[in-house]
Structure 1
């Protein structure tokens, strides 16, 4: 059962791009590594168009937001937690000026019932050609099951 494993991989979320787990459990807390919008087993990133050198030509922040929230949900559920158990979310955007309004609207759709603490910051660049990444902390109930 997930509660006995401190490092928790996901079979649905995108493969890590470095040496880190999708999540780590400490007591009843679940810490997620940075989660982006990539899809497991695919090189393409939802809503991103790249040139031959890998530079971003265009991107759709709405598509990336939906993809990153889906990936967070995959990790939470496979680790024995759930969306309602999120307590803290740190959001990294590469273009706060153009993307914050869209992201904030979509965020509100996903977090109507559960409103974790949130910090949103702009960063110059993320490790892959993405425009958003989330760093999350959630709880896991004593029985290893989260709320759905």
Structure 2
């Protein structure tokens, strides 16, 4: 009866070794994967920072007057010197979400045919813009301070 026990132990050891090897391979692959400047881990505006900043920037641009998606993408890229680039697959879902929440209103430039869709803030959008300005500022200041500390540490 001892033989089946050893076989079971070996099977369990084999499964554990395979699982460990698979996780090591995944870790090596992730560590050596090339990064892109516009997306992924090398993107300084990835994750939470992008989620905090992008809606604020979009509402800010609309607070200045009606605007359309491509114009906002260009202005965001220009104002951040290309550090934050927004593609249509990000911008237009965000605009639809903001419109569904009643924060912005969209209107076609030429309603009889498909053309540019201009967006403007609603009253609720102005209130949300003001709320985000207050809420996001400490976060942005903390990020800026942290980046400045890194620059000073590395380049002093």
Which protein is richer in helix relative to its size?
A: 2
Larger Rg over CA atoms:
2
Question: TM-score scaled to structure 1, two decimals?
Answer: 0.28
Instruction: Kindly indicate whether structure 1 or structure 2 has the higher relative contact order, using CA contacts under 8 Å at least 6 residues apart.
Output: 1
Question: TM-score scaled to structure 2, two decimals?
Answer: 0.27
Which protein is richer in strand relative to its size?
A: 1
